[in-house]
């Protein structure tokens, strides 16, 4: 592909917008034409993110100021609840990757229940493709609108969905204990994200009510062909980025943890970004920091008939901006590794 992809990033002043810019600056086919940030309009990105000071980037403008006639692809990084009307107003020729939660749930009633207001673009929801790259390539390639998966759902679905699809684990009794870095809370200042509130501690939040729960259940229900209900508890820990999900499952009759390991190894054997660790090895967030990788381990539980899965991703890369670029690469027929052939930052 010789042609450049002209890109607009809507809501570029947040963490996912900045991460998109960082990665797209290394993409040989990406041309960042417009950056929006209504509250930061008129400023250079260097004023918002000094690490971008010496990069040639357009000024931040309001969404209304963007000329979309020359835009091929829009990444939308706005908060949930603000995206549906914005995307519905984009010209039909613009392909869209939405990093918010606004198009992830296929059922508008479920969206209204979990997000507290009616879906504002129901017709557009019907054409949205859930962009979990390793599991939906064919649909992603031809889609106009991609709902980029959430960070917690990505860390949970990559290990669980293949096992569900193959009937190797029970669809009941799943427990997901997930821990995320503070960037998952966004960049807007709030008391709960202050250094003194976060540092030197850990806290659970969204207990039995986190909005990523129906997204995880939806993905696993599609994979298993059965209605999946599970227990999901997220925690915030004092690090910048990364997610570690510890997942407890019931084995199907006659199945062992070794069978899970073999199935996942086979499923992802040709994948660049999903890695199944050798038996006995434990993944950590240091192993994937700054990358688009997911590392998964499988352990037998000491309780017969159960197994424990451990999955790690970088919430800003595979959990957001990196997966969005992977989706872009699939949509435009490019190698999925373009701009994503990254090595973890360690220490």
Total-model pTM: 0.96
CA distance 329 to 304: 43
**pLDDT exceeds cutoff 90 at 192:** no
pLDDT digits (tens, 9 = 90+) for 68-115: 999 999 999 999 889 999 999 999 999 999 999 999 999 999 999 999
Catalytic residues: 151
HSE-CB of 216 using CA atoms within 13 angstroms: 29
- Angle (CA) 324-286-294 rounded to 5° is 40
* Domain range list for the chain: 5-127, 152-314
Calculate mean pLDDT across residues 270-283. 98
pLDDT digits (tens, 9 = 90+) for 50-61: 999 999 999 999
CA distance 45 to 43: 6
pLDDT digits (tens, 9 = 90+) for 214-257: 999 999 999 999 999 999 999 999 999 999 999 999 999 999 99
Which fold is adopted by the domain 5-127? Rossmann fold (3.40.50)
Place 188 in a pLDDT band, splitting at 50, 70 and 90. Answer: confident
Percent of the chain's residues with pLDDT above 90: 93
Output the CATH code of domain 152-314.
3.30.360.10
CA distance 322 to 35: 18
pLDDT the model gives residue 281: 98
Place 1 in a pLDDT band, splitting at 50, 70 and 90. Answer: low
CA distances (Å), 287 to each of 12, 26, 150, 151, 268, in order? 27, 22, 20, 17, 18
Percent of the chain's residues with pLDDT above 70: 100
Let me know: does 231 contact 198? Beta carbons within 8 Å. no
Calculate mean pLDDT across residues 113-130. 96
């Amino acid at each position: 592909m010789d042609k450049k992809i002209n890109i607009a990033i809507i809501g570029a002043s947040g963490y996912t917008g900045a991460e998109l810019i960082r990665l797209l600056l290394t993409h040989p086919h990406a041309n960042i034409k417009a950056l929006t940030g209504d509250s930061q309009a008129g400023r250079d990105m260097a004023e918002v993110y000094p690490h971008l000071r010496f990069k040639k980037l357009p000024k931040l403008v309001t969404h209304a100021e963007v000329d979309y006639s020359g835009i091929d692809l829009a990444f939308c990084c706005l908060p949930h609840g603000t995206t549906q009307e914005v995307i519905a107003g984009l010209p039909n020729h613009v392909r869209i990757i939405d990093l918010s939660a606004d198009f992830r749930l296929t059922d508008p009633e479920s969206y209204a229940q979990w997000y507290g207001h009616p879906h504002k673009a129901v017709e557009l929801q019907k054409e949205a493709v859930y962009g979990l790259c390793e599991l939906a390539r064919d649909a992603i390639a031809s889609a106009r609108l991609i709902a980029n998966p959430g960070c917690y759902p990505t860390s949970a679905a990559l290990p669980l969905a293949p096992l569900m699809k193959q009937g190797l684990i029970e669809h009941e009794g799943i427990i997901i204990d997930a821990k995320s870095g503070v960037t998952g809370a966004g960049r807007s200042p709030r008391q709960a994200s202050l250094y003194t509130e976060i540092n030197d501690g850990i806290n659970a939040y969204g207990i039995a009510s986190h909005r990523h729960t129906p997204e995880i259940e939806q993905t696993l229900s599609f994979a298993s062909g059965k209605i999946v209900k599970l227990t999901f508890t997220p925690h915030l820990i004092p690090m910048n980025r990364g997610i570690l999900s510890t997942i407890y499952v019931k084995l199907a009759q006659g199945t062992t943890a070794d069978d899970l390991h073999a199935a996942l190894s086979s499923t992802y054997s040709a994948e660049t970004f999903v890695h199944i660790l050798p038996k006995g090895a434990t993944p950590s967030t240091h192993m994937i920091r700054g990358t688009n990788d997911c590392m998964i381990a499988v352990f037998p539980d000491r309780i017969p008939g159960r197994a424990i899965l451990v999955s790690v991703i970088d919430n800003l890369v595979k959990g957001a901006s990196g997966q969005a670029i992977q989706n872009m690469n699939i949509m435009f027929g490019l190698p999925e590794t373009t701009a994503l052939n990254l090595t973890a930052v360690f220490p």
